[in-house]
Amino acid sequence: MKVKYAYLALSLLLAGQANIVKADSDRLSQMISPAFSPVTFEDPRALSEARLLFVNHSIDDNFVTNGGDVQVYALQLRYALTDKLSIIATKDGYVDFNPKANVPKDSGFADIEAGLKYTVLEDKEKGYIASAQLRYLIPTGEKEVFQGQGDGVVHPSFSGAIALCDNTTLTAGSGLRIPVNGNDSSFWDVDAQLDYRIPVSGDISIYPLVGASLVKVIDSGKRLGIADEGQDFFNFGATESAGENIVTGVGGLRARLASNFDIGGSFQFPFDRSSGSRIINNRWTFDAILRF
């Protein structure tokens, strides 16, 4: 409960800064990437970067595994072919799956997801941008960690960011995950992040942030007879999951240590722990981004 009150207080603090003022000549360069939901929440800017990720995901005790945890080690890559068109690889890595019961502990490689991102609207001086993405998830991972199943997933999405004032940015995104094989579930994702830039010295800045995420199961799969789906990383093909929602809040901090190097961390927690949302007890996400 204390976490939720702290989250609300930080939300109000950041929102209070959102008065429209004149932006810098390149306001987009001051913006930061989303600090959570790395598989679904895409930075709208055309960037060339390597992003190293570590995720520690705690499973609710009422999930079919009676709790446990998952660690993911991943590297995202993005390359700007032009100032509007990018190649993006947003899912890969190694999964360490540690349930408490009912499912054996195991580890293995994740599926690979990649595609293209195109900027459809941009104004660097006013500080707004919007882009569309189209990705395909290739089921190359290992079934022991609930990867490598089905025939892949088509993932159309869009994201945008706007400078609400000189140092406050709102970033949001939404997308669909549409399986080729009906054994997998299909999803609708919505993410939003509000951050506030605090200049420190030269290129160094820190960015306290808050956010929220919705994962809605549009259609259930045909694989596991449970009601809880796998949020943004897993697709269990849960047969009883249609219409279920996973709604989470986020608090975090990102630091810009150089003009081309960011690090960040966030804490994610569910607003509802009832049936359908019990895959998550909490989640820590840490990253380091090197741009080139």
| pLDDT band at residue 18 under the 50/70/90 scheme | very low
pLDDT, position 166 = 86
Mean pLDDT of the chain: 93
List of E strands, 8-152: 49-59, 68-80, 85-91, 94-99, 106-109, 112-123, 128-138
Backbone region of residue 44 per phi and psi (left: phi > 0; alpha: psi in -120 to 50; beta: other values) = alpha
CA 113 to chain centre: 14
Are 89 and 78 in contact by the 8 Å Cβ rule? The answer is yes
Q: How confident is residue 103, by pLDDT bands cut at 50, 70 and 90?
A: confident
| The pLDDT value given to residue 25 | 73
| Cβ–Cβ under 8 Å, residues 67 and 259 | no
Tokens 């609710």, residue located: 60
* Low-confidence winner among 7-21, 91-105, 125-139 (lowest mean pLDDT): 7-21
> What CATH number does the domain containing 128 carry?
2.40.160.40
In the prediction, which pLDDT does 17 show?
44
The reported pLDDT for the residue numbered 22 is 39
Q: How many domains does the chain have?
A: 1
For residue 1, pLDDT over 70 is answered with no
Task: Render the burial of 25-61: b for 16+ CB within 10 Å, e for the rest.
Answer: eebbebbbbbbbbbbbbbbbbbbebebebebebebbe
How does pLDDT run across 28-47, given as a tens digit for each residue?
999 999 999 999 999 999 99
What integer pLDDT is reported at residue 277 of this predicted model?
A: 94
- Judge contact between 210 and 14, C-beta under 8 A: yes
pLDDT over 90 percentage in the chain:
88
What pLDDT, on the 0 to 100 scale, is given for residue 116?
98
- The CB density around residue 183, as the number of other CB atoms within 10 Å, is 16
pLDDT digits (tens, 9 = 90+) for 48-76: 999 999 999 999 999 999 999 999 999 99
Residue 156: give the domain boundaries: 2-291
Res 7: pLDDT: 52
pLDDT tens string 2-11: 444 455 555 5
What average pLDDT does the segment 103-130 reach? 96
Residue 167 has what pLDDT? Answer: 95
Per-residue pLDDT, 11: 52
Q: Contact, 280 vs 37, CB < 8 A? A: no
Q: How many CA atoms lie within 13 A of 142 on its CB side?
A: 11
